[in-house]
Structure 1
Amino acid sequence: MERLTERQEAILDFIVREYVDAATPVSSKRTVEGSDLGVSSATVRGEMAYLEGLGYLTHPHTSAGRIPTAMGYRYFVEHLMQEAGLPLSERRMIEHQFHQVDRDIEQWIRLTGAILTSKAGTASLVTAPRTHRSRFKRLELVRVSEGNVLLSLVLQEGTMRRRIVSLEASRIPRALQRLTDELNSLLLDLSSEEVRTKSSQLKPAQEAVGEHVAELMDDADLRHDLELHRYGFAHILRQPEFAKTERVKKVLGVLEEPGHLESVLAEVGLSHTGVQVIIGGEDRWPQMSDFSLVLARYGAAWQTTGVLGVMGPIRMPYSKNVPMVGYMAHLMSGLVEGRYT
């Protein structure tokens, strides 16, 4: 994603923030009046048309104003967003609420969901922490095209995971088989964390495959008996984006489809560190095209972990929700580490 000019970024930044606040298309006149661009409405209209051509903005048929696209929100999150951290007084109040409840994970989960929904004004998602750890049994590497192989991973509990990976060694059949044999010997019965540690000490090709193995094992660990708690979905239905019946059906479809949200959280939440932002399905989850997720892993390193976050329309106050989710994940991590380690 190439960087825009300073003026284009200022216009996109203003339109995103204004649309998030007001939920109405933003005109060039409003942009000139509400910003310090120092240019005419005609100049701003030209820049808006350019940003629309790039895919960052669009406009409803009935309005001359522009609204951000999922791509526009993504650019905002990656390049323009200034996180609005929680004030110290609010952090202390939240910490006090947790100190008031027993050392019970179910109460922590309910309180986390209630706080996220209250502060973000949208739905929240929290999974219970799990201690299940997959163990490596064997892998197979099969050449499928020039430079690409199918990695088939079998875990000790009998489950299998597959992934297409790029691998130079696939160009030489004997090298591919030797790599398979070496890794099956070196990684036997290791957890994902142990696979990462071991792989970092190996040759580049072994390390590359080892990282893919660890990611597949992380995914298997999260999917194992995933217990997802959902709160505040009525907040989504109150948003103007979901006033029409067909949009309401989309919300209900996401809620009712077995394992859908669990699958997204499994792939994103615990497979990555830090706060992860999913906007409009990212062309990977079509059912999520009207929604955004802000997720973060919490827990005791890779031993006892869960995921928490918020879900709402893509017109979301990311600058507020990203630090909120990050803070709650940090708080829950401290609680879980104190209980399980």
Structure 2
Amino acid sequence: MAELDERKSQILRAIVEEYVETAQPVGSQTIARSRELGVSSATVRNEMTVLEREGYIVQPHTSAGRIPTDQGYRYFVDHFAASGALPVGQRRVVADFFASAHRALEDLLHETSQLLSRVSQHAAMVVGPESERASVRSVQLVALHPAVVLLVCVLSNGAIEKRILQLDGPVDETRLGAAVAALNRELFEASLQQLPELPATGDPDVDRVARAARDSLTEFLPEHLDQLYVGGVSRLAAEQESFSTSESAARLLEMLEHQVIVVSLVRDLLDHGVTVSIGSENRSADLRDCAIVLAPYDVDGHPGGIVGVLGPTRMDYRHALAAVASVSHQLGRHLS
């Protein structure tokens, strides 16, 4: 994409910002009146003709002004959207949410998607941490009956997994405590997908309990890991007029029901360094009228999951980028 000179760049910026705010095609007189460009509406009109010829804007109707194309939005995002920040009030809302968040991971991720939707005014999504990255933080065993214990495992992403273990014989509190010590000594920070074998402790009863717990941990496949949480879906219906066809929002809603597809799509975008994907840049035909704004979050310094917003290409990209950046940062801090 060729660089625009300063005047054309500012005129394109004005068209994008006016169109995002008003949803109406933007004319040269509007730009000349509302912007301090120091040129006449005739000069603006000539520059708009060049921008149209180069693919940045288009005239939807003969008598109308111009609206941005996907290429125009892309130029705006690359040159003008990165400097935005959430208003102070919204930053406080995000910070207060996580300061008071003491929920199970699944509930936290779901409510985070709702929070991001409220802040961004678009449908929002949160992808849980990848399952293969989850590691063991701590293990506890609680006696329920002489031969029945509750296994509680805290994972690196904040998840708390529980299982009931039926032992093949009773175990006393002393040996139960020794088994807990062995589990935490050997499994701390071990990947849930690659748990090491436990060495013998010298007490067969302790080994029996510890190995039963370790074997149960290998069967943990937490459902919320790699899960997709979508908040504010009703906003897509409310934004229906902003899509090019009435079917676009419906297709997007249907696509969101196919979790594996969406998770794969957003992870693929981030793997290629893409945080904003606009209209025709999306490989999926169902997303050709949509924009996606993404941000990864880290857990303990390692890649965790993803937060993002999606909606029509007529999106306030500066605000959307600021919203996902703020929420991803706070979520990562909370889970670390």
TM-score, reference length from structure 1: 0.66
Amino acid in structure 2 at the alignment position of 1:102: H
Matches within 5 A, 1:83-102: 83-102=83-102
Q: Secondary structure at the match of 2:25?
A: coil
Q: Which moved further from structure 2: 283-292 or 85-94?
A: 85-94
Alignment-mate amino acid for residue 245 of structure 1: S
Check conservation: 1:131, 1:303, Cα contact below 8 A.
no
Deviation at 1:234, TM superposition (A): 1.5
Matches within 5 A, 1:185-224: none
Residues 16-37 of structure 1 deviation map (CA, whole Å, 9 limit, x = unaligned): 0000000110011111111111
Greater CA drift, 60-69 or 30-39? 60-69
Question: 1:36-56: CA deviations, max 9, x gaps?
Answer: 112222211111111111111
Question: Structure 2 counterpart of 1:109, which letter?
Answer: L
User: Residue 305 of structure 1 corresponds to which residue in structure 2?
Assistant: 304
Distance verdict in 2 for CA 1:13–1:325, change over 3 Å: same
Q: CA offset at residue 131 of structure 1?
A: 4.0
Matched residue, 2:251: 250
Quickly say closer, same or farther: Cα 1:78–1:104, change in 2 above 3 A. same
Name the residue aligned to 1:114: 114
CA distance in 2, matches of 1:245, 1:293: 19
Instruction: Please state whether the residue corresponding to 1:259 is helix, strand or coil.
Output: helix
Conserved 8 A contact 1:241-1:247:
no
Match of 1:327 in 2: 326
Say if 2:17 is the partner of 1:31. Answer: no
Please tell me the residue identity of whatever aligns with 1:290: D
Return 5+ residue gaps in structure 1 as ranges. 135-190, 192-223
**Residue of structure 1 equivalent to 2:227:** 227
> What is the DSSP-based 3-state SS (H/G/I as helix, E as strand, rest coil) of the residue aligned with 1:95?
helix
Check 1:9–1:289 CA distance in 2 against 1; reply closer, same or farther (3 A cut). Answer: same
Q: Once the 2 structures are TM-superposed, how far is the Cα of residue 81 of structure 1 from its aligned partner?
A: 2.6
Matched AA of 2:333: G
Whole-Å separation in 1 of the counterparts to 2:119 and 2:225: 29
Amino acid corresponding to residue 105 of structure 2 in structure 1: I
Answer yes or no: is 1:21 the counterpart of 2:21.
yes
Per mean C-alpha deviation after superposition, the further-off stretch among 6-15 and 284-293 is 284-293
Shift of residue 244, structure 1, vs aligned partner: 5.1
2:50 corresponds to which letter in structure 1? Y
Aligned residue type for 1:71: Q
Q: Does the residue aligned with 1:132 lie in a helix, a strand or coil?
A: helix
| Residue of structure 1 in register with 2:242 after alignment | 241
Aligned residue-pair number: 247
Distance 1:301 1:314, change over 3 A: farther
Cα distance 1:248–1:311, how it changes in 2: closer, same or farther (>3 A)?
A: closer
Separation (CA, whole Å) in 1 of partners of 2:245 and 2:110? 30
Cross-structure match for 1:81: 81
- C-alpha distance in 1 between matches for 2:58 and 2:51: 9
Is contact 1:98-1:108 (8 Å) kept?
no
Higher helix share: 1
2-structure distance, mates of 1:105, 1:131:
13
Q: CA deviation at 1:105?
A: 1.5
Deviations 1:294-323 (A, max 9, x none): 101112267461111100101100111101
CA distance in 2, matches of 1:298, 1:35: 38
Q: Distance in 1 between matches of 2:133 and 2:89?
A: 38
Structure 2 counterpart of 1:20, one-letter code: V
User: Can you list the C-alpha shifts for 1:198-248, whole angstroms capped at 9, x where unaligned?
Assistant: xxxxxxxxxxxxxxxxxxxxxxxxxx9731111112212212224853334
Instruction: Output the CA distance in 2 between the equivalents of 1:280 and 1:30.
Output: 26
Aligned to 2:130: 130
Deviation at 1:127, TM superposition (A): 1.0
Structure 1 residue 100: deviation in Å? 2.0
| Greater alpha carbon shift after TM alignment, 77-86 vs 319-328 | 77-86
Report the Cα distance in structure 1 between the residues aligned to 2:90 and 2:97, rounded to whole angstroms. 11
Give the drift of 1:79: 1.2
TM-score, with structure 2 as normaliser = 0.67
Contact 2:110 2:230 in 1 (8 A): no
3-state SS of 1:293 partner: strand
Q: How does 1:281-300 map to 2 (within 5 A)?
A: 281-282=280-281, 284-300=283-299
The amino acid that maps onto 2:91 is R
CA, structure 1 residues 320+100, in 2 after alignment: closer, same or farther (shift >3 Å)?
same
Alpha-carbon separation, structure 2, partners of 1:63 and 1:262:
42
Give the alignment's Cα RMSD to 1 decimal. 2.5
Query: Per-residue displacement from partner, 1:53-92 (whole Å, max 9, x unpaired)?
Result: 1111011125420000111000001112353312444323
Opposite residue 118 of structure 2, the aligned amino acid is: S
In 2, are the aligned partners of 1:237 and 1:248 still within 8 Å (CA)?
A: yes
Residue 44 and residue 304 in structure 1: after superposition, are their counterparts in 2 closer, same or farther (change >3 A)?
closer
For 1:225 and 1:130, the matched residues in 2 are separated by 6
Determine what percentage of the aligned residue pairs are the same residue: 37
